[in-house]
Amino acid sequence: MLQRPRRNRQSATIRTMVEENRLSVKDMMFPLFVMDGAHRKSEIASMPGIHRFSLDLLLKEIEECVELGIRSFALFPQIAEDKKDAMASESYRKGNLYLESIHAIASRFPEISLLTDVAMDPYSSDGHDGIVKNGQILNDETLPILAKMAIAQAQAGSKLIGPSDMMDGRVGYLRESLDEAGFSDVGIMAYTAKYASAFYGPFRDALESAPKFGDKKTYQMNPANQREALREAELDELEGADFLMVKPALAYLDIIALLKENSHLPIAAYNVSGEYAMVKAAALNGWMDGEKAMLESLLAIKRAGAQVILTYFAKEFAQLKIS
């Protein structure tokens, strides 16, 4: 008997009936950029359709997204160069832009989930994620700064923090610091397998946070490695992570699948700025159907095993009202 898999592809209805994965706006977390000032909105040149907003306009943007069904967001601050220093002291200063934004968002939209970022790079005059001394990025010396940031964010209303610097011992140290400060209900999304990637370029444009010297290869993972991601996952689990994240997503689908198979924690994947920019650039040139490429990329990330997809496409996806 000739096997005919095409029988299950012969109509849209049957194709839908047998499809193994389906995207929903509930899978998605939308990264947002906040900047100083009022009534300000500026498009990021390398990320068409994505803007930095001053807080007043950001709240409006979130409101629109919530109406479209998006319930989950991540927030990153663009900090003026004159507020940056070697110790990122702006990062935990009471009343700073980021903390004020977290507070405003958490009070106005108590039902949403907001991932807040714990890393030095937006505030660092060196453009690195850790304290720099004699050209070295220090691991342990950076921890107390991160703890101050995490606690300040929790006090401002954050319920989920993302230590994104990809250095050692972050999850354990921050878990303990949060618990001691009375924030045992604040979750940690671990940047478990974050690779040293060219795909972060547009994000660094958005925050003007590119490293002033060197690269991030002594802390972010080597794209050549897969087994090392299992080691990182094991450590983050032991240290108390609530989610494991893989980043970038599309070039690392094998890593998403690997962590899904090897952990009981929910897996998140960050469809990063460069992955967004590639699709947009090709679509704007008329070289590809942007909407189809978006849907196929997001589906691939879900199929690989991501339960949460951080993506700059979230709003565009939500506007399609796919049910």
What residues line the site for ligand PBG (CB under 6 A)? 119, 121, 129, 164-165, 200, 203-204, 216, 272-273
Q: Which sign, positive or negative, has the C-alpha torsion 100, 101, 105, 106?
A: negative
Task: Report the residue number, 90 or 129, with the smaller CB distance to ligand PBG.
Answer: 129
Report the nearest approach of ligand PBG to the CB of residue 108 (Å).
24
CB-neighbour burial class of residue 162 (10 A; exposed 0-12, middle 13-18, buried 19+): buried
Cβ proximity to ligand PBG: between 18 and 210 the closer is: 210
In sequence order, what are the beta bridge partners of 133? 136
Pseudo-torsion of CA 206, 320, 318, 312, nearest 10°? -20
Total residue length of the chain: 323
Q: Least separation, in Å, of the C-beta of 165 and ligand PBG?
A: 6
Comparison of 129 and 232: residue with beta carbon closer to ligand PBG: 129
* Residue 194 bears catalytic tag: yes
Clarify whether 94 is annotated catalytic. no
Active-site choice (83, 84, 159, 194):
194
Kindly state the smallest distance separating residue 31's Cβ from ligand PBG, in Å. 6
Mapped onto helix, strand or coil, the DSSP state of residue 249 is coil
Distances (CA, A) of 55 to 38, 71, 157, 265, 284: 7, 18, 16, 33, 29
Q: Name the residue with the smallest CB distance to ligand PBG.
A: 203
CB atoms under 10 Å from CB of 133, counted, come to 11
User: What one-character DSSP code corresponds to residue 222?
Assistant: P
Contact 189, 245 (CB under 8 A): yes
Catalytic residue among 83, 247, 260, 280: 247
CB-nearer residue toward ligand PBG: 27 or 129: 129
Q: How far is the CB of 11 from ligand PBG (least distance, A)?
A: 38
Q: Which residues are catalytic?
A: 194, 247
